[in-house]
Structure 1
Amino acid sequence: MNKPSTVCKECIAHHYWHHMDDQKRFFKVMMGDFKNGVTIPRKFVANIREHLSEELKLEAPDGKTYAVQVATEQNELVLRTGWPDFATAYELKFGDLLVFRNCKNSHFKVRLFDPSGCEKELSCVLMDGAPCVQERKVSHGDHTQSPTGKRMEIGSPSGSRKTSKMNPIDSPSQRRGHVPSARTKSPRHGVAKPPYILPRYTTLNDQQKNEVDKKVGAIESKIPIYVATMCNSNTARAFLEFAIDYATKYLPRENQTMRLRRPGPSKDDTWEAVFRVKNRRYTLGRGWRHFVDDNKLKPGDICLFSLMKNTKKLTMDVHIIRKRSM
């Protein structure tokens, strides 16, 4: 009687990684802070590290290609600069699954699937010239493209495989960070815009929303106000991060000192904190703890940050709504 053959798993793995075609694949499920970066699996990196450069080309099914920088963080390779543009263009959401196929020379073809298990239609259809596409306006800086009966293409106007230079705040998914309440009119275009911005995935209950609406109305800022509900990381760890869709549009891109000011009836109290920009993260660090302690901030309190213009030093007025008052 013949004995069953013993399979050498190490031999099979070696053959797969080093003797089969170069088009190896890995997948990533969009979880955590996936909007700002995703890691490349360590096993994948260990086997094809010599074929990876510091810049990868990600090509979606619609043929558009995005240049993404690879950063080394805590012994892992992370897709960073350029990744938020890709994530924004294809409106990536929590639970989406992406399959990356290496086509050599650091060029990856990416297939995108939503939580239903089906491909994301947006990634497969080249919108320029596509029939029966819903009309949508896309804002770029001071210009709003007129509706043309088709969805405006994200990326280069010709639909060629050039790297997209789209600003992430121009996409519909990033604009969803705005709260659709107490809207104001833009005198130039007559387009309603919200007076405050919440971090993504943050919602207010009815009572919080009413308090914020009243406070925002009283402030009357021409710049949207950033609204942050304090959590343990803000109070215990004394660390605050601004949402990227707010920060990229309204805050500077370089490290500096930020002055935090509590408007008072007779005299404004001020504090200074280190404002830092790194890996597309905009944070307040050293000095923020003094503000937290002096103002006795607790989890559940709401801080409204109003950016001041025409000041020599980066300054934000901070208005506080106490949890106990709601």
Structure 2
Amino acid sequence: MGRRPPARKPSFMKILVKDFSTKLMIPPQFVKLHRGTLARRCTLRPSGTADSWRVRTKLMNNLLYFKKGWKKFAQHHSLGFGDLLVFRHAQDCEFHVDIFDKSCCCKDPVTSQNVESQKDNDSILTSTGLEKNLDPKTPALEAAEDFMASSEFPTFNRIMQPSYVGLHHGYMLIKPDFAKLHIKDRTREVKIEISGKTWTVRLRKHGSSHNLSACWTQLARENALKVGDVCVFELINAKDHTLKLSIFRSTMKIKTGRSKARSGKGLKAQSSKALTSANEFSSLSKYPSCPCLVHFTYLRGGYLQVPSAFVKQMKVTAGAKKVKLECGGKEWNALLSSHGSHRRLSHGWSALAKHNSLQIGDACVLELIHTNDAVIKITVFKSHVQHR
């Protein structure tokens, strides 16, 4: 006699339609047949991974749904309208999940190591069933949050995880709150500006979530993004959806004592003398001039915001203009560009700041010594030593 085939495990299939991003209904017939084995807490195990996701069920209008935890599961796996999911009931309210896209092909598995999207309230189980303790307060994240606090633009950050920096089929999830406020439904692509280069990246919408897809993988690879790096996105131009990307590496270290001393009230106290000297110097200058206090953003972001009143004397109304910066007997070619109502010195500014060892709390005086040639002389006033 032939061997008896193994018993088929209870299963059901769902095609994602309507509002699947925050909850997913379990078929009533499946619930009726297996009510005794369905608990309030379920575990979902995506095929091709060793990860498990905790999802709670909730009864609403006599229908049972995957509810709490489902939204994060859907976002992490980029579930979209028309995707097909097969749930195979294994044991003790545990489901193995096969995920297929609209072409009926199985999606590439997405692992969940260091998943930033799971840090709020829900936890990930390892293959051994133990919870991973995720500590998001890394030096890179702290630096990124300081950077965001000083930015004048709408911002959001993302901690890089394997699915964001994968070699193939990579994507990056835009934070829902940011997308809701600043991304229009009909938007199909965004521009990402980093280190003087602009990338046009495809934007895909899945339910209520937005993903950066095509070209994101190449951007991540060329900029050597790694798991644990923190990316900060600033919306510097809302009309054409231009995002400026600043990267905070996972390997960075924060020097103890210094960061606190040079932030908040400490920064104000240490920089007051430098700023006073800069104001006095500016008031005595025979050229159009303006003092600027060096913030964290101006060092990390690679630009210096210039007051509009100073720029008007250069007769720059829109677009970008090449300028020359002079400081300490050395010259740098830079770019004065427009971002909405703001004007910025970029490109050569970073090299100047590095060469002159600019620090948070230092003050600079900009003098327009040649209007036609757009030559700007910069005098630095250190917060802890004599100016030069």
The TM tier, using the shorter chain, reads 0.3 to 0.5
- TM-score by length of structure 2 reads 0.32
Query: Rg larger in 1 or in 2?
Result: 2
Determine which structure has the larger strand proportion and give its number: 2
- TM-score by length of structure 1 reads 0.38
